[in-house]
Amino acid sequence: MATDIPVRSEGDVVVVSPEGELDAVTSPGLAEVLDRILAAEPLCRGIVIDLSGVGFCDSRCIGVLVSAYRQARDLGVGLAVAAPQRSVLRLLVIAGIDQVLRIEEDTGHAVETVLA
């Protein structure tokens, strides 16, 4: 399942672009991809999770995002979320994730943010 999540590099930043729903069934695949990126050598400078293709996420997804943020922070890697759809953004704000993670309107800004 994790191999279905597109991953690309933009310089020293890895952009992860899950699609569809991120719930109890699919969120572990995202976690696996993020864990693999954070374990890779050499370590990237930043990770952007592009949520533009995600129409739904639940608490499991939020847990994955927070865990990845903490792991990245401890490694000195920037992490940001980009382009969440309105319903997903609403959930992130309700959950207070916007107070922890950087959430950018588009991937380009997010790439700049994680390198700053």
Q: Would you say 26 and 19 are in contact if contact means Cβ atoms under 8 Å apart? A: no
Structure tokens at 71: 């792991």
Say whether pTM exceeds 0.85.
yes
Residue with tokens 């933009």: 10
CA nearest to 102, candidates 13, 33, 1, 24: 13
Q: What is the pLDDT of residue 2?
A: 45
Q: What is the pLDDT of residue 3?
A: 54
Going residue by residue through the chain (116 aa), what tens digit of pLDDT does each one get? 445 899 999 999 999 999 999 999 999 999 999 999 999 999 999 999 999 999 999 999 999 999 999 999 999 999 999 999 999 999 999 999 999 999 999 999 999 999 98
CA distance 10 to 8: 7
Residue ranges of domains in the chain, CATH in brackets: 2-115 (3.30.750.24)
